[in-house]
Structure 1
């Protein structure tokens, strides 16, 4: 079996893991759809490479308004790797207690909101405190972690609690301990991580279920759709109206922002 065959086989296992979580996905989709129908938003947060799943949710083709992507560049800007804005600083800041509260201080949250917090290990301080702060404000939290990796990892939080300890529903990417899924002969450390694949599967299952619920409730979403599929004029109309809807929803989060 080639290394790429190994990876694809492991990814098939991730699909099975996600499929077995159907009921939890349905529960999360119910909560998220209710937030959107109420005119509120689903807050989506991820630091490090979990930013990928945040942007997978919204905005991109096949996605729709109703989600507030919270992405802090100081925690996610990996391109320079070293030097100014480098990875060492991002990894340090990801474990600074109090940063999550400062981020959420910008928004007027409501118990009608809901949240999706993504962290492969579930052990870094900022994602954990984001979930804790959401729950403290009465916001339901769904988390995406890699269960096996999280269980084998040590929390950076002083009391040892992890992201799943502040989550109402926990979804598992299915990625293994260490995330990487392929063993190469002569190399003593594995390569090719799986958490992004599992995470994107979960995000898009949620997205599909939410779209179904919104449509059934008479609130068909404005889906960002390629002009190659529906023509340039309609695609442009959908993009503009979806962005306007996002702006209107977001404005409500700033209108009464202040100490909670």
Structure 2
């Protein structure tokens, strides 16, 4: 089963490369233009999806101009069931999104596997209203086959500027056993992390090709990197206070 799971994950990532190459390149260009214009890339997700926002933040080898929108009420450590209930609350997003200094020229990535709950949809709508370009990372297979819970009747993929489809099947779990009635072995976090890191890597490549030095964090556990990273933190801390 271990080998089968790894093969399935590898197959899904290869399928993403084949079928999502065009939107991923478009997303990379959006990120590159944002960084080149001194903008900030915001990332948001509820529940397990918030891990992808953290994955891209303060990351060795990753971009410094990244601000995750971290809302503890929507994280599992405040109560798993509670986080799910909060994600379904209409207008809850306004309580934290109004405080976010999203500007024209910024990019906001909203991550939601199902894409049907009110909070991710509202985050995308509010970010667009603030002038950001909005990317949705979601499973179209799940979202298109699930009723929307947002009052507008819209799902995440219907309100963003660009959709990155994880190609994850409805329900996330992908493994089966003939003596088990439910599927197991989730895939959305692994596939989503690969997509986002690939997009950021392509954005960095494009910046370098244009003669722009990308703001890339180095590992703080390598000698001689503290001063380098400190300069990036100083540059971006006014817009990303949690860097300090």
- The normalised TM-score by structure 2 is 0.91
Q: Is the 8 A contact 1:44 1:69 kept in 2?
A: yes
Distance 2:228 2:146 in 1: 44
Distance 1:97 1:238 in 2: 43
Does 2:238 align with 1:239? no
Give the paired residue count.
240
Deviations 1:204-242 (A, max 9, x none): 1111011112223333223222367xx411x21232223
Deviations 1:28-80 (A, max 9, x none): 1111111122112111111110011111111222112111111111101x24x
Extract unaligned runs of 5+ from structure 2.
none
Q: Residue in 1 aligned with 2:53?
A: 54
Q: Is the 8 A contact 2:117 2:149 kept in 1?
A: yes
Extract unaligned runs of 5+ from structure 1.
80-84, 252-260
Distance 1:102 1:170 in 2: 25
SS in 2 for 1:170: strand
Distance 1:18 1:240 in 2: 36
Q: Residue in 1 aligned with 2:29?
A: 30
Deviations 1:72-111 (A, max 9, x none): 11101x24xxxxx311211111111112222221133322
Does 2:68 align with 1:69? yes
Q: Residue in 2 aligned with 1:178?
A: 171
Does 2:94 align with 1:95? no
Q: Which runs of 4+ in 1 moved over 6 A?
A: none
